[in-house]
Structure 1
Amino acid sequence: MYRSPTAEAEVAAELAALRPDLAARYAAELPGARAAVLTRLWRALTHEPLPWIERREASGEGRLLRLRDGRRLHGPEPDPFATAGYVTEVGLDGTGYGDPARLVTALRVPHGTDLARELGHSVASLALSRAGQPAGPQGHPARDWEWEQRVVDGHPYHPGCRSRPGFSVAEQLAYAPEHRPVVGLGLVPVPGEACVVTGRWPAGWRDGERLLVPVHPWQAAHVLKRPCEERLPGRPLMSLRTLALPGGPHVKTALSARLTSSVRDISVGSVTAATVLSDFAGELADDRLHVTRTLGAVTDGSPDLAAVLRESPQVYAAAGERVVPVAALPLTGLPRDPDWLAAFAHLALSVGLRLLELGVALEAHGQNLLVVLSAAGLPLRLVYRDLADIRVSPARLARYGLWPRELPERILTDDVTALRRKLFGSLVCGALAGTAGSAAALRGALETAVRDLPDTPDRVALTERPLPVKALTLMRLSPGTPGDQWTELPNPLM
């Protein structure tokens, strides 16, 4: 049976050998990390359609969950949009659990052992991430990648927010963005005739008839199992496998490790469609939205050796402006102002709903969506990056005389539920909720933001129905079920 302190103890032992200066801070951060992960887990327990929960009901100032086997879970009244770690203990038949991994172990649910192990890693890695932060004020970053590296806690609602199975402490310190390393990417030569290439591959990444493919050192060591002699210095961004290169471009590398929910690879189809998608989305943008261009993409035909090169979002900032990932907005201090948050919500919803009406549903979560701020901190425009998981409706495009070209079949759908889930689940329940930090703050922002939005069926769905969100914990407990699974959260506007 899994015991969560194992992950915490393993990290502590490695840290004592590698970075003894962080050992005391790591230990001090563990209680807060447990509460952060437990809060995310309680959100799932109180809102996701988990088959072993029979009923949920109010109980005093908290919530009671009756399990199908007769046991009872009790915890505080949930705020599904809270980002602070407000849940410090959940009771199971009178026994209190402050450790999320121990709680899942005690629940004895199908596939719970694997989830408990991931939550243990999530707690330990989150404590490590927090322990490695500089003390005192840091000021405003001067470069775009510095904003990315300040997002310490990862996904605001996923219990596995910092789970990094397969990464040792040394590798987390060497590769994870919140530890601010410089990562040396390998350049692996591949015969040009064996590659699929779209866009323009840089002349400096060619060796005669061979193409030089950037490879993450973790991938080289654990998957390709080959040395990479040439080194290209990069600064890891929030997604860890994407890095900012000297001079500005960003490169997404293949990294066959499970980060948060799934193993993210770069398929041949993604490489083939990269520039087509980029051109298509760029044509739909307007003066409120920029879409970073894909400059080039390459693969040797396998998901283990591939890379995508795209613009830095910083190219869309004029003098005096700055581009900030939405996930980093809580670190700027700006979202504490309700008027600012309402203005940002109005900008984001105006752009998102306009594109949805045209037939394009963005996956506009806090990592993919960035905002251009004026020198005074006002939200001016949006920048969107990484088009791999958008959804496109051919029928909606056709209504406006548009045609989706040769877009990948997997992103095409006219299912209105799928389209709204993609946008609302990422933008409202992800980017806006994570920035607001609570149901009350999100409600205040939405009430102001939606007042003058065009009266479309999508707007009605946004304001008058429960909000869709991925059932992230159910997905982790359903390894045999492919694709996303969904649940609904209370709409603050209802």
Structure 2
Amino acid sequence: MYRPPTAEAEVAEELAAVRPDLVPRYTAALPGARAAVLTRLWRALAHEPLPWISRRVTEAGGLVLWLADGRGLRGPHADPYATDAYVTAVHLDGALYDDPARLVADLAVPHAAVFAAELGHSAASLALSRAGRPDQPEEWPRLDWEWEQRVVDGHPFHPNCRSRPGFSVAEQFAYGPEHRPVVELGTVPVPARECLVAGAWPDELRDGERLLVPVHPWQAAHVLKRPYDAWSPAHPLMSLRTLALPGGPHVKTALSARLTSSVRDISAYSVGASATLSAFAEDLAARTDGLLHVTRTLGAVSADSPDLAAVLRESPGLYACGDEQVVPVAALAGTSLPHSPAWLAGFTSLALRVGLRLLELGVALEAHGQNLLVVLSPDGTPRRLVYRDLADIRISPARLTRHGINPPGLTGRLITDDETTLRRKLFGSLVAGALAATAGSGPALGTALEAAVRDLPPGPELTALREGPLPTKALTLMRLSPTTPGDQWTTLPNPLVLEHGTRDQ
């Protein structure tokens, strides 16, 4: 017989030892955190190609999922673009479930036990994150890392939005950006002959014939299990493993923990491609009429291991002029801006104009809310975009060549001429990701897209966006398919043609 997961109780026990003042707030935050995770899970159950769901039926009272074993799972109508926690409970064969971990465990599908444990940790960690946030809204930040640390809830659509396995409560407070710590980064010396280096590695991180590789304290303690030398205080950004150095660049560290779907390390392939990609992207951004900046990669190093590597990258804040601010799209939900339909339409138009233009030329950005930033005027008007982290874009040599652009001298996973792959990369990250999360619902997203596409130049990519279903990563299917490598995909109803009513799916 399944017993409720212990993640919530374990977190409460650790919290009582390190921050007893937050225990009441944590306890109060748990129901809302469960609902937030359950809402993300319900989106997946409603729209992903999970093999043990045989039929989906939309009825007047909501959605019924018929499982292959004959059980019925009932819940509300599923808006795939909603970010509010509107699913507080579902019913499996008449039994009520308000805990996503307990629901998945009792579904008893393949690999459910591991995923259920992750969901329990995600809800507990989310409640911990919410417990520590300020009571009142703050003034807009002035520094780039302050914007990043306002993102409390993590991924807007992944059920593992705050899952941090391997992190104690004390470590979440010490390293989680939403808790606003200062992290003391270290360095590990490695003989230069054993390292792969791209770009210009700074003198500050050299010691004779050795390179000093920046290392995250968690990585040093749990993965490398070796001492390191103190280097610099830094402010963690929303990705956890990337941190802002005081007055300087951002440093992306290897952090071999499973956050949401993936284990985060830095491959030798990414390091080797970084300088070429950075130069290529700088040239490409110049073709967007000043609407896009791409942060330059200053240097990258791998000590012959994905677990000991680092990338130094420009701060996006360098691309603000005067009183402008550069804001990660994921942080927009914490402002009043997305609530204005006119503002949302303007931002959507800007993002699509840039994204579709680059896709036409031959580059698909992974423009989710973490990689994509917007430059705002003092009154909040979106002026330009900034993109960072080129490690997972897709590049089409054939498209580039057709437009008279020399493809970069790269091979491997970044390179593809496959039309479906290119469109999935951009549409899934930008439209089903960044724009959907900013809009907060299907109707709001559809209204913004309809207003934006009227003024966009026609072309096959715009036609595909307007007429086809919208691709997105099947995030839950991926977690329940541990032996299947790579991304898996599903499609969502196109918000431009979204129809409501009763239908069998």
TM-score range, shorter chain: over 0.9
Q: State how 1:112-261 maps to structure 2 within 5 Å.
A: 112-261=112-261
4+ residue segments displaced more than 3 Å: 1-5
Aligned residues: 494
Do the aligned residues in 2 keep the contact of 1:3 with 1:101 (CA within 8 Å)? no
| Unaligned ranges ≥5, structure 2 | 498-505
2:369 maps to a residue whose letter is: G
Query: How far off its partner does 1:381 sit?
Result: 0.1
Q: State how 1:248-287 maps to structure 2 within 5 Å.
A: 248-285=248-285, 286=288, 287=290
Q: State how 1:365-380 maps to structure 2 within 5 Å.
A: 365-380=368-383
Do the aligned residues in 1 keep the contact of 2:277 with 2:408 (CA within 8 Å)? no
Do the aligned residues in 2 keep the contact of 1:2 with 1:113 (CA within 8 Å)? no
2:67 maps to a residue whose letter is: L
* Offset from partner CA, 1:168-210 (integer Å, 9 cap, x none): 1111010000000000111111111111111111111111121
Q: Which residue matches 1:37?
A: 37
1:414 is aligned to 2:417 = yes
2:101 maps to a residue whose letter is: A
CA distance in 2, matches of 1:50, 1:386: 31
* Offset from partner CA, 1:395-453 (integer Å, 9 cap, x none): 10110111222124211111100000000000000000000000010011000000021
Q: State how 1:63-74 maps to structure 2 within 5 Å.
A: 63-74=63-74
Do the aligned residues in 2 keep the contact of 1:4 with 1:117 (CA within 8 Å)? no
Three-state SS of the structure 2 residue aligned to 1:256 is strand
1:450 maps to a residue whose letter is: V
CA distance in 1, matches of 2:411, 2:23: 48
Q: Which residue matches 1:481?
A: 484
Three-state SS of the structure 2 residue aligned to 1:411 is coil
Q: Which residue matches 1:358?
A: 361
Three-state SS of the structure 2 residue aligned to 1:233 is strand
Q: State how 1:410-449 maps to structure 2 within 5 Å.
A: 410-449=413-452
Do the aligned residues in 2 keep the contact of 1:4 with 1:116 (CA within 8 Å)? no
Q: Which residue matches 2:460?
A: 457
* Offset from partner CA, 1:188-238 (integer Å, 9 cap, x none): 111111111111111111111211110000000011101223131110001
Three-state SS of the structure 1 residue aligned to 2:413 is helix
| Unaligned ranges ≥5, structure 1 | none
Q: Which residue matches 2:293?
A: 290
TM-score, normalised by the number of residues in structure 2: 0.97
CA distance in 1, matches of 2:450, 2:321: 31
1:468 is aligned to 2:471 = yes
Query: How far off its partner does 1:137 sit?
Result: 2.4
Q: Which residue matches 2:320?
A: 317
Query: How far off its partner does 1:142 sit?
Result: 1.6
Do the aligned residues in 1 keep the contact of 2:2 with 2:106 (CA within 8 Å)? no
Do the aligned residues in 1 keep the contact of 2:5 with 2:117 (CA within 8 Å)? no
Do the aligned residues in 2 keep the contact of 1:187 with 1:231 (CA within 8 Å)? yes
Query: How far off its partner does 1:248 sit?
Result: 2.6
CA distance in 2, matches of 1:281, 1:57: 46
Counterparts in 2 of 1:129 and 1:2: CA distance versus 1, 3 Å: farther
Do the aligned residues in 1 keep the contact of 2:188 with 2:228 (CA within 8 Å)? yes
Q: Which residue matches 1:107?
A: 107
2:193 maps to a residue whose letter is: E
1:396 is aligned to 2:404 = no
Three-state SS of the structure 2 residue aligned to 1:257 is strand
TM-score, normalised by the number of residues in structure 1: 0.99
Determine which of 282, 304, 309 is the counterpart of 1:306.
Answer: 309
Do the aligned residues in 2 keep the contact of 1:129 with 1:153 (CA within 8 Å)? yes
1:326 maps to a residue whose letter is: V
Query: How far off its partner does 1:4 sit?
Result: 4.1
1:333 is aligned to 2:336 = yes
2:363 maps to a residue whose letter is: V
- Equivalent pairs: percent with the same residue? 73
* Offset from partner CA, 1:37-95 (integer Å, 9 cap, x none): 00000000000000000100122220011111000000000110000000000100000
Query: How far off its partner does 1:5 sit?
Result: 3.7
